[in-house]
Amino acid sequence: MSFEYLGLSDNVLAAVSEAGYTEPTPIQKKTIPSTLQGRDILGIAQTGTGKTASFTLPMIDILSQGRARARMPRSLILEPTRELAAQVEESFDKYGINSKLTCALLIGGTDFKGQVQKLDKGVDVLIATPGRLLDHMERGNVMLTGVELLVVDEADRMLDMGFIPDIERICKMLPKKIQSLFFSATMPPGVKKLTDSFLKDPKEFEVSAPTTTAVTIEQKLVKFRGDDSLKRKVLRHLLDENDIKNAIIFCNRKKEVKIVNKSLNVHKYSSAELHGDLHQDTRMEVLAKFKKGETQILVASDVAARGLDIPDVGHVFNFDVPNIPEDYIHRIGRTGRAGKEGKSFTLSTQYDKKYLDALLKFLKKDIPLLELPENIVKESPKKNQKVNKVKKNYQKDDVKINSEEKVSNKGKKVIVGMGDHVPDFLTR
Ligand code: ADP
Ligand code: MG
C-alpha cells in the first residue's frame, strides 16, 4: 500500500516522496488515517519504525488551516530529551518543506531570549522538553489555551515518576477539548493505566507487543566474572573483533561513561562522551560529530537511549545491564533502524545479575550467549597477588599517565604523581 491511500495532502505526499519513502511503515498505515479524523491515538511500535512521521505528517495537514497567534502555540509536542526534541524539529523541516508552518524549540541549556522572540511571533508547532516549557509558562511567555493538538512522544517515559508532576502541570493548562497522540515502543502496564486517563476513547494501535525488540537487531549476551577493568578489556576485544563502522556504548552511570570514554581514548579509539553533566552546546557538538562519522564511538548515558535516530549506527554495546528493563529496548533500538541490520552486545558480570534476571524476565526469552576466548576473560586477581598483577594489568589495560601505584601500610592503593586528579577507577 502506498502513502496515497492514507488521506494526506499532495503537499505532504510530495515531501514524503522527496524523503525517499515509498511505503508507509505499519504504524504509519494504522495511525495516520485516524489521526486525520481527529481521534486520540495510542501508538505502540518497535524502535526505528517511523513513529515520528506517524504524528508529524498528519499534523502538518491538520494545522495547515488557521493561523498562529503570539504566545499561543497551536500544537505541542513533548519530548524527554533536548536532543530528541531538536530531532523532531528537523523532521518538521523535512516533512513540512511544502508548508508554511512555524516551529519553535523550547529546550533547556539554550538561548532563552531567542525562544521568547519566536513565541512572540506565534508558532504553529511547539516542541519542548517539560522543564523549559514550564519555565516559559511561569514567566508568561507562552499560554497553552490555544493548543488544539498534543503529542506525547516516548509516552511511558514522559509519564514515569521523574516527569509526571511536570506533565500534569502542563496538561492542566491545556484546553479540555484537544486531540492527543501518544507514542512509544514500550508501555509498562502501570503506565498504560495512566495513559488511558489522558486520552479520550483512543484508537489504540499496537504494531508490536511493548516488550519486543526490533527484529533487525542481532543481540548477544556476554557473560563473565570480573570487575570493571575486565569489562573494559572485554569491550575492547569486542570492538576489535567486530567490523565496527560506528557504535554507541551505554553505561548506567555518568561516572562510568566518563571512565569508559577516557579509557578508550587512551587506547586510541575514536570516542566521545555524551551525558547530562555536559553543557548543551557540547552535547549537540558531540552528537553532530558522531552523526557525521568524525567520532566513531559514542559513550553515553541513557540520555541517548530514547528516540535518537542516527540512521547507520551499526553496533550498540551495553557496558552494564540497564537497571530498567525497558531501557534495554530503547538502547539497542539505536541500531537496526528503518529496516537496517544492527548488532547489540550486552556485558554482564556477577554485579549485573539482579538486573539481568529482571531483563530476561521482562523479555520473556533468552538473549543468545557469546563465548569469549579464555585469554580475554580472566578472573580478577586474588587479594595477595594484587600489587604486581594490578600494576601489570594497569599498564596494559588502563590509563598510564606518569603516575605510580603503591600499596599503603593499611593495604589501601595509593596513586602518586597525579595530585588531586586521580581518576576513581585507578583507585579501585
Ligand atoms: P521511531 O520513532 O519509531 O523509533 P523514527 O520516527 O525515528 O522511528 O524513524 C526511524 C527512521 O525511519 C528515520 O530515519 C526515518 O527517516 C525512517 N522512516 C520513517 N518512515 C519511513 C518510511 N515510510 N519508509 C522508509 N523510512 C522511513
Ligand atoms: Mg521516536
Residues 196, 282 within the same domain: no
Nearest residue (CA) to ligand 1, atom 20: 50
Pocket perturbation via mutation, ligand 1, pick of 25, 158, 182, 291 by most ligand atoms within 8 A of CB: 25
Residues 202, 223 within the same domain: no
Residues 151, 250 within the same domain: no
Residues 6 or more apart in contact with residue 193 via CB below 8 angstroms: none
161-177 mean pLDDT: 95
Residues 248, 286 within the same domain: yes
Residues 184, 121 within the same domain: yes
Asked if residue 420 is part of any domain, the answer here is yes
Residue 34 Cα to ligand 2 midpoint, Å, equals 19
pLDDT in tens, 5-31: 999 999 999 999 999 999 999 999 999
Whether the per-residue pLDDT at 299 is higher than 90: the answer is yes
Whether the per-residue pLDDT at 410 is higher than 80: the answer is no
**Of the listed ranges 35-49, 191-205, 324-338, 381-395, the one predicted with least confidence:** 381-395
Lookup: cell for 26: 505499519
Asked if residue 212 is part of any domain, the answer here is no
Nearest residue (CA) to ligand 1, atom 9: 50
Any atom of ligand 1 within 6 Å of the Cβ of 51 = yes
Asked if residue 246 is part of any domain, the answer here is yes
Q: Record the pTM.
A: 0.88
pLDDT in tens, 191-236: 999 999 899 889 989 998 888 999 999 999 999 999 999 999 999 9
Residue 295 Cα to ligand 2 midpoint, Å, equals 23
**Of the listed ranges 89-98, 201-210, 217-226, 252-261, the one predicted with least confidence:** 201-210
Residues 6 or more apart in contact with residue 338 via CB below 8 angstroms: 48, 49, 50, 311
- 55 contacts 151 by C-beta, under 8 angstroms: yes
Residues 71, 124 within the same domain: yes
Domain ranges, residue 81: 3-206
Asked if residue 410 is part of any domain, the answer here is yes
- 344 contacts 316 by C-beta, under 8 angstroms: yes
CA dihedral 116, 138, 162, 199 (to 10 degrees): -90
Residues 161, 234 within the same domain: no
Any atom of ligand 1 within 6 Å of the Cβ of 43 = no
Report the distance separating Cα 273 and Cα 249, nearest Å: 9
Residues 241, 291 within the same domain: yes
Whether the per-residue pLDDT at 399 is higher than 90: the answer is no
Assign residue 312 the CATH number of its domain.
3.40.50.300
Report the distance separating Cα 174 and Cα 178, nearest Å: 8
Distances in Å between the alpha carbon of 389 and those of 147, 357, 385, 396, 427? 64, 32, 6, 11, 14
Residues 319, 270 within the same domain: yes
Whether the per-residue pLDDT at 336 is higher than 50: the answer is yes
* Residue % of the chain over a pLDDT of 90: 84
Band (pLDDT 50/70/90 cuts) for residue 144 is very high
Residues 281, 311 within the same domain: yes
The number of folded domains in the chain is 3
Any atom of ligand 1 within 6 Å of the Cβ of 56 = no
Nearest residue (CA) to ligand 1, atom 11: 338
